[in-house]
Each structure stands twice: as structure tokens, then as C-alpha cells.
Amino acid sequence: MLKAKITGTGSYVPDKLLTNKDLVRIVDTSEEWILERTGIRERHIAAKDQTTSDLAVEAARQALKAAGVKAKDLDLIIVGTCTPDMFLPSTACMVQLKLNAKNAAAFDLNAACSGFLYGLSVASGYMSSGAFKKILVIGAETLSRFTDWQDRSTCILFGDGAGAVVLEATTGSNALLYTHIKSDAEYWDYIQIPGGAAKEPATRAVVDKRLTKIRMKGNETFKVAVKTLENLVVETLEKCDLKPSQLSLLIPHQANLRIIQATAKRLGLPMDKVMLNLERYGNTSAASIPIALDESVRTGRVREGDYILLEAFGAGLTWASALVKW
């Protein structure tokens, strides 16, 4: 059976930095509180004229170059995002236009922070069915556009960025071995942007009430995330018949250092086997895993034959995991 192999990775973050020190000037917080409660020191913010597809294209170009694949040879472009350029057309279509990937189909996928892994899962299905042979999966966000800069409990968390992978069909065993996706909408209101869409169109009143911005029940989300991810990583390894000691690297969604530490502890995994970069990027939602994966590849933390576990948790609530043999 055909499997999906990651043959190239890429990532991009905008130049502008927003440090914890900068945030102290905006809301009632402290550098220490942010670092201790989240693990974040700084995040990158898109320039006024940059949109999600701009960030996505930068990451995609790198991934295509690393894979040695031409944009015109792509069969499919999937963009995991909850901060699209606009409602219509999809951000994936804008990426197709900018890459001149004439022969691809393109669509967005919204599973919030789990969007990239949902994208991998969909792509792996297309690969194993034989429908597509070269797929670009991107996670890209400009969360800063939807951040409530008056809400100290959320504005400290988010950053902008994009990561991408090129997947190619293979009959070999070094490939994406397993993906798992799941949702539980009972907690739909834990993380939301309630206004600006069909339910609450963007009237002046809706905008003034800041309903077009992200709202999060942080502590409630934290508790479900820890419990869910602890079970998810154990179950994923069981499904793949692997012991935690066989894992070379865990690449978690970068939302909160304490959540990541709890997940690693559940597996008995030392923190040096966990990819961490949220200190520098904050929570970039769907972009966080492909950015961390690209960084792991480029810094030599991933070698041929390594088993790598990816996991994510986000609004929906949604969660997902993937096991890759590099």
C-alpha cells in the first residue's frame, strides 16, 4: 500500500517581534507571569500588508525546494488555518495562485490548532487511495489579527507564522505510519471567535463588543488538554506497537510548556527528547507543529529511521496525533 513520506519541510515567521516586555506596556501583566505560566518569551507578528497566505507561501517555497518538487507538479494543497485571508476564496487557493501550482486542487481545513495534523491525516488518505502523489500540507496563521489586545489572559499567548511539508507517495517503510483525529464539540465554547461570521455578522456593535476576537476559557481548556493529550500519546504509541523508549522525538503543539511537560511525563520521556520552541514563537496554532518539525530537521534533530510523534489540541475541541518513521 502507498504511504505518505515527508520529503521536504519549510517554515516562516514574520520579522516583527513582540516580547513579554512589550506586553507589559499593553496589559496588566508581568514578564515573569507570562514566562512561568506559559513558557513564552516572545512571538512574531505579521506586518500590516502580510496575510496568512503570504506566510504560507514562504514556508511552502522552502518545503518544495527541500523536496526538489516543482509547484506545477503538486496534486493537492491543503492549508490548515483558522485565520484565513478572507472567507472566499480559500487561503489554499491564494497559495496556489502565488506558487503558480496550476495542476493542484486546493482547500482550507479548519481544525484550529490541530489543523496541520488533520491535514496530514487527510493527505495520507489520498496517498493510500492512490488519488494523489504529491501533496503540500501547510499550517499557517495570523492570529494577531484576531487577538484581543485588551485581554491579558489571551493576548500574551499567540504568535503568527507558517510551516509546510511536501508529502510524496512511497512504498517504503520510512513514512507517515499512523494518524489519529478526534473532536469533542461539547466544549465548543472553550475557545472561540464568536462574531464576524454568519451567526453574528460584523456589525459595528459586534466589533465594538470585540466579538470578532479570540475568547478562551484558558484554565478549563488547560485541564482538558492535559488529560486528553496524556491519553492520546499513550494510545498512539500502542497503536503503532512502539514503546516510549523507541521514540526519538516528540513534537507537540506549542501552546503551554506545562501542558507539554505533563504529556512528556506521562510517557516517561526526558525533556531532551521533546521539541520546544514556544519560548520564541508563542502559540501559532496550526503552524506550530510544522514550524517545530522544520526546525528539528534543519538543526539535525531528526535522522533517518527515527520515530517521531506529533500531537496537537485546539478549539472545537479538536485533537490529533501522527507517528512518522523518518
For the annotated catalytic residues, the residue numbers are: 113, 253, 283
Residue from 83, 212, 283, 321 binding ligand UT7 (CB under 6 A): 283
φ/ψ bin of 298: left (φ > 0), alpha (ψ from -120 to 50), beta (otherwise)? alpha
113 counts as binding ligand UT7 under rule CB under 6 A = yes
We find the least distance from the C-beta atom of residue 152 to ligand UT7, in angstroms, to be 4
Q: Which is nearer to ligand UT7, 77 or 287 (CB)?
A: 287
φ/ψ bin of 282: left (φ > 0), alpha (ψ from -120 to 50), beta (otherwise)? left
We find the least distance from the C-beta atom of residue 252 to ligand UT7, in angstroms, to be 11
Q: Which is nearer to ligand UT7, 224 or 234 (CB)?
A: 224
CB 267 within 8 A of CB 237: yes
Instruction: Read off the C-alpha cell for 229.
Output: 493529550
Q: Which residues contact 82 (CB under 8 A, 6 or more apart)?
A: 110, 112, 115, 141, 193, 285, 286, 315
Instruction: Read off the C-alpha cell for 64.
Output: 518544495
C-alpha span between 310 and 312 (Å, rounded): 7
314 counts as binding ligand UT7 under rule CB under 6 A = yes
Q: Which is nearer to ligand UT7, 62 or 142 (CB)?
A: 142
158 counts as binding ligand UT7 under rule CB under 6 A = no
Q: Which is nearer to ligand UT7, 106 or 259 (CB)?
A: 259
Q: Can you tell me whether residue 130 is helix, strand or coil?
A: coil
CB 105 within 8 A of CB 250: no
CA distances for 121 relative to 76, 190, 234, 252, angstroms: 14, 24, 19, 16
46 counts as binding ligand UT7 under rule CB under 6 A = no
299 counts as binding ligand UT7 under rule CB under 6 A = no
Residue from 98, 152, 180, 266 binding ligand UT7 (CB under 6 A): 152
**Interacting span for ligand UT7 (CB under 6 A) from 32-40, 63-71, 173-181, 227-235:** 32-40
Q: In terms of DSSP H, where are the helices of 203-302?
A: 204-208, 218-239, 257-267, 278-281, 288-298
Q: Which is nearer to ligand UT7, 239 or 265 (CB)?
A: 265
Closest residue to ligand UT7: CB criterion? 218
We find the least distance from the C-beta atom of residue 319 to ligand UT7, in angstroms, to be 10
We find the least distance from the C-beta atom of residue 33 to ligand UT7, in angstroms, to be 4
C-alpha span between 40 and 24 (Å, rounded): 14
139 counts as binding ligand UT7 under rule CB under 6 A = no
CB 140 within 8 A of CB 46: no
286 counts as binding ligand UT7 under rule CB under 6 A = no
307 counts as binding ligand UT7 under rule CB under 6 A = no
We find the least distance from the C-beta atom of residue 314 to ligand UT7, in angstroms, to be 4
Show the CA angle centred on residue 223, arms to residues 217 and 153, nearest 5°: 35
Q: Which is nearer to ligand UT7, 187 or 307 (CB)?
A: 187
Total of residues contacting ligand UT7 (CB under 6 A): 20
CB 80 within 8 A of CB 42: no
We find the least distance from the C-beta atom of residue 312 to ligand UT7, in angstroms, to be 8
Give the residues lining the site for ligand UT7 (CB under 6 A): 29, 33-34, 37-38, 113, 152-153, 156, 218-219, 221-222, 225, 255-256, 259, 283, 313-314
